[in-house]
Amino acid sequence: MFVTTPHKIYSTAEWKCHIYSEWMMSDDASNMQLMLPNGATLLGTILSSDKTNISTLTSDRVPHPLLISLANISMKTCAKMSSDSFLLTVLLLVPKFIHTKKCTNWHCYTGLLEVVHSWADPLDLEAFFCEAQKFQLNGVVKPFWSDWILAEPSHFFTPEMLHHFHQEFYDHDAKWLINAVGEPEIDFCFSVLPHVTGFRHFHQGILKLKQVTGWCHHDIQCSIIAVSADAAPQTILTAIRALMDFWYLIQASHIDNNDLKRISSVLAEFHANKDAIITASFHCREGKKIITN
């Protein structure tokens, strides 16, 4: 189905509970349509990319295919492989950085970059990069979206569930609980869990897992709060449980105003308890090094 006009659907006749399931039902789409001339059609663009191996035995070529589609097409149609809703636009090559110091923990804050700009000339790359490093900035003076009409990065850079939720959980949330409970204890607790059909059994624990997939992350998430219940402080369990609730709630195919209140509530619960993780120094990796990101 192809939708040409933004619209709103409500769960009650009083029009008090707005339902969100497609981009054309969102407040953003309605607000953008109001700014367009009469008779103009709003077309939302979806860009998607992921790392893909195209040659393993010969030179190991790895590009990022950039796919494009329209947000006006319903999600059910886009999800079908046979619909050909996404078109390949270009194969983006993976760059190799030649800088001697490798670090990927960079951010882009245009306000701070203005300060850096006043201290160093952007044309002097070495000096400007050194100043940007002090604030952990990537050195981008003018982001590519700066002159886009109605562009808001927090709206069009949407999270991707596999990496922004499941991988984030395994790299951070799980590490916090492992530090709180202890490595031998949490491995033992996972190893003695009863076998459940449809779920992976971690008979050797979770610390030595290799090539962990999203399904594996999901199976760990189902048990890790219960496994850690008697060993980790209550405030830390509350913070991590609230964050997991937040991630699962936002994955619903239909979200209404009542769901938004629940999502805001669990996120506020996480922020109210997150300081306990930092206070207890559980946000550390091996060697007690603080995880800063």
Per-residue pLDDT tens for 169-200? 888 888 889 888 888 999 998 999 898 888 88
What does the pLDDT average to over 216-220? 89
22 vs 140, residue with greater confidence: 22
Question: Which range has the worst mean pLDDT, 57-61, 106-110, 159-163, 182-186?
Answer: 106-110
Question: What is the spatial distance between Cα 75 and Cα 183, in angstroms, rounded to a whole number?
Answer: 42
What does the pLDDT average to over 130-149? 75
pLDDT range class, residue 268, cuts 50, 70, 90: very high
pLDDT range class, residue 105, cuts 50, 70, 90: very low
Q: What is the pLDDT of residues 230-247, one digit of tens each?
A: 888 999 999 999 999 999
Neighbouring CB atoms inside 10 A of 240's CB total 26
The whole-number pLDDT of residue 240 equals 93
Q: pTM of the prediction?
A: 0.75
- Partners of 64 in the β-ladder: 92
Does the pLDDT of residue 73 top 80, yes or no?
A: yes
What does the pLDDT average to over 129-146? 75
What does the pLDDT average to over 130-156? 76
Question: What is the spatial distance between Cα 38 and Cα 57, in angstroms, rounded to a whole number?
Answer: 56
Question: What is the spatial distance between Cα 80 and Cα 75, in angstroms, rounded to a whole number?
Answer: 9
Degrees, nearest 5: CA angle 256-262-265:
140
Does the pLDDT of residue 284 top 80, yes or no?
A: no
Strands 63-70 and 45-49: antiparallel
Closest CA to 136 of 98, 105, 101, 102: 105
| Contacts of 107 by beta carbon, 8 Å cutoff, 6+ apart | 135, 136, 137, 138
Task: Provide the token pair at 176.
Answer: 């916090």
Rounded mean pLDDT of the chain? 82
| Contacts of 52 by beta carbon, 8 Å cutoff, 6+ apart | 62, 63, 64, 65
Question: What is the spatial distance between Cα 105 and Cα 133, in angstroms, rounded to a whole number?
Answer: 10
In the chain, the percentage of residues whose pLDDT exceeds 90 is: 15
The whole-number pLDDT of residue 288 equals 61
Angle, helices 257-273/234-249, rounded to nearest 10 degrees? 150
Question: Which range has the worst mean pLDDT, 64-68, 139-143, 149-153, 202-206?
Answer: 139-143
In the chain, the percentage of residues whose pLDDT exceeds 70 is: 85
Task: Provide the token pair at 291.
Answer: 């995880």
127-139 b/e with 16+ CB inside 10 Å = b? ebbebbeeeebeb
Does the pLDDT of residue 104 top 50, yes or no?
A: no
Question: Which range has the worst mean pLDDT, 37-51, 152-166, 186-200?
Answer: 152-166
- Which amino acid type is present at position 16? K
Taking a C-beta distance cutoff of 8 angstroms, is the pair 27, 255 a contact?
A: no
Question: What is the spatial distance between Cα 292 and Cα 203, in angstroms, rounded to a whole number?
Answer: 32
